[in-house]
């Protein structure tokens, strides 16, 4: 009787472990799909479809993030609601939102001029900018080995730039700006929300950042992309699919954040780093297959060198903790 009960208990445990693994794999697949999906759809809309309004597109993303974050937290209780404790904390979050807006808008602008494969190669240099900003703003020094591993990160992009047949200087500058702003947001977040009482999980941070981003992007859209709503309505009269593209793309932008939070929660930081590096490579392959943009051996070599540098950087940081 006892042996049978023990066997049943062991079977249930194995089944639970298998179910847990299946759930984690599903989360990772959803994270990859939403990440790569929003990237490719942004590229299609801004470059191939001819929807040349990256600021308005970003505002659509942030509007969806505002609404869906509220639904996920207030209605579905994915995470407990964390309230803001002071006006100072609100201003700190607003500063983060401004940098975040700069990152997303610059990234979307770069997609108008650069193929996704090269965009991802440049984006892989985020650790370099993170280390630079951390040193400048917090005087936080890493071990020399960590800084040495950043050399191939930068060298790879230089090689990839030289071998990129679709290289566009303005697009490259925007992509570098987006990458630097993304790194700056990470460092600022660590500084501004370092107090225990001010720490917010990523879902709650998005809940407060997204509406601020909409408020910041609205005047920028009206001033820099004149009559964008009228032009979008005119486009919709010719092809109503643009409305569905924008709605789906905006919802997908939220699910990028949601799945990133869930994958972070259900895996280790090291697993997340490895998955992040692999995700960039998958995005490159998928984008080349879909958009058929020319890729040279030199370009792929440069990207490979950058990814190898990022992996070495992650290992060096892990050993020096």
Mind spelling out the 3-state secondary structure of 31-63? HHHHHHHHHHHHHHHHHHHCCCCHHHHHHHHHH
For residues 295 and 119, what is the distance between their CA atoms, to the nearest angstrom? 13
Could you read off the pLDDT of 206-265 as tens digits, one per residue?
A: 999 999 999 999 999 999 998 999 999 999 999 999 999 999 999 999 999 999 888 888
Residues contacting 86, CB < 8 A, separation 6+: none
The Cα-based distances of 321 to 142, 146, 174, 311, 316 in angstroms read 10, 11, 33, 16, 9
**What pLDDT sits at residue 14?**
40
Is pTM beyond 0.75 here?
A: yes
Residues contacting 160, CB < 8 A, separation 6+: 118, 121, 122, 298, 299, 301, 302, 303, 306
For residues 239 and 183, what is the distance between their CA atoms, to the nearest angstrom? 38
How many helices and strands in the chain, by DSSP H and E? 13, 0
Residues contacting 230, CB < 8 A, separation 6+: none
Lowest-pLDDT choice from 1-15, 82-96, 107-121, 155-169? 1-15
Residue ranges per structural domain of the chain: 44-78+87-319
pLDDT band of 1, cuts 50, 70, 90: very low
Confidence check: pLDDT of 48 > 70: yes
- Residue 50 or residue 88, greater confidence: 88
For the chain, helix, strand, coil in percent to 5 are 85, 0, 15
pLDDT band of 193, cuts 50, 70, 90: confident
Contact 206, 152 (CB under 8 A): no
For residues 72 and 68, what is the distance between their CA atoms, to the nearest angstrom? 6
1-24 average pLDDT score: 58
For residues 105 and 120, what is the distance between their CA atoms, to the nearest angstrom? 16
**3-class DSSP state of 143:** coil
Query: What is the C-alpha radius of gyration for the chain, rounded to an integer number of angstroms?
Result: 21
For residues 236 and 129, what is the distance between their CA atoms, to the nearest angstrom? 40
Helical residues (DSSP H) of the chain, grouped into ranges: 2-43, 54-70, 87-113, 116-123, 126-138, 144-148, 150-162, 169-192, 202-224, 228-238, 241-266, 269-291, 297-319
**3-class DSSP state of 77:** coil
Q: Maximum distance among all alpha carbons in the chain?
A: 77
For residues 71 and 164, what is the distance between their CA atoms, to the nearest angstrom? 43
């Amino acid at each position: 009787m006892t042996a049978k009960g023990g066997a049943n208990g062991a079977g249930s445990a194995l089944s639970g472990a298998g179910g847990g693994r299946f759930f984690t794999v599903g989360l990772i697949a959803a994270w990859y799909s939403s990440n790569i999906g929003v990237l490719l759809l942004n590229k299609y809309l801004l470059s191939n479809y001819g929807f040349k309004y990256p600021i308005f597109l970003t505002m659509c993303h942030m509007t969806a993030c505002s609404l869906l974050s509220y639904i996920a937290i207030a209605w579905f209780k994915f995470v407990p609601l964390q309230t803001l404790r002071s006006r100072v904390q609100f201003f700190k979050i607003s500063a983060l939102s401004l940098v975040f807006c700069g990152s997303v808008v610059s990234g979307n602008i770069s997609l108008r001029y650069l193929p996704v494969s090269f965009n991802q190669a440049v984006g892989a240099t985020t650790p370099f900018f993170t280390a630079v900003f951390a040193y400048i703003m917090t005087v936080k020094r890493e071990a020399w080995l960590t800084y040495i591993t950043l050399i191939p990160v930068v060298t790879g992009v230089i090689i990839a730039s030289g071998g990129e047949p679709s290289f566009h200087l303005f697009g490259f500058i925007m992509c570098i700006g987006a990458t630097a702003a993304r790194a700056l947001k990470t460092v600022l977040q660590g500084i501004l929300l370092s107090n225990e009482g001010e720490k917010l999980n990523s879902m709650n941070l998005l809940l407060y950042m997204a509406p601020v981003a909409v408020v910041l992007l609205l005047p920028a859209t009206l001033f820099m992309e004149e009559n964008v709503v009228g032009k979008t309505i005119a486009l919709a009269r010719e092809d109503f699919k643009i409305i569905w593209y924008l709605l789906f793309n905006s919802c997908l932008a939220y699910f990028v954040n949601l799945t990133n939070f869930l994958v972070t929660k259900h895996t280790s930081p090291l697993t997340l780093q490895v998955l992040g590096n692999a995700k960039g490579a998958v995005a490159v392959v998928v984008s080349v297959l879909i958009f058929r943009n020319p890729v040279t051996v030199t370009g792929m070599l440069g990207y490979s060198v950058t990814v190898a540098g990022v992996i070495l950087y992650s290992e060096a940081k892990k050993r020096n903790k």
